[in-house]
Homo-oligomer: A and B are copies of this chain.
């Protein structure tokens, strides 16, 4: 492919870092991938990784092509009463996906995330470390149940994104946000805050 950027040298370096980061995050997961190892993989100094991408967090978001940094919008979900957190979660999710810029980017992230094993691992890391873990860490949950509750919330939210925005199944695709919030928030409420009637010993 012809290089058309103004600064091809820098562009090459950025791409090498992104490629090394993608490999590291997909293979080791977010927590165990280090900036040092990514820099070595890209053949550059770790300082250069920080120079181009900032923190490991920011590098990860650039690597998955995240439409938005969850850290910026999660306060809208987490601030306020726990009882109403499910409603705020669904409402905030819809505001991202209904938005003319971040919406199509979210659809692209979901679509591309499912195409390869490595991209699926990246999407999983994104969901678990950027979103699920941060939401459940704010709640006083039984540690034996918290990860299961988090992954149940993920099933409902990613399924909502898929049916409403990717497959566009009606009438959900055209439903006003208030209808979706009223229908789905009680599910999130149960997954996060109500008894699950699942014996703790049977949770992996």
Contact = CB atoms under 8 A, between A and B. Distances in A.
Contacts of A31: none
A169 interface: yes
Interface residues of A, number: 51
B167 A124 contact: yes
Interface of A is mostly: helix
Copies in the complex: 2
Interface in A123-166: 123-124, 127-128, 132, 147-148, 151-152, 154-160, 162-164, 166
Interface of A: 110-111, 113-115, 120, 123-124, 127-128, 132, 147-148, 151-152, 154-160, 162-164, 166-172, 174-176, 178-179, 182-184, 186-187, 190-191, 196-199, 202-204
A158 B151 CA distance: 14
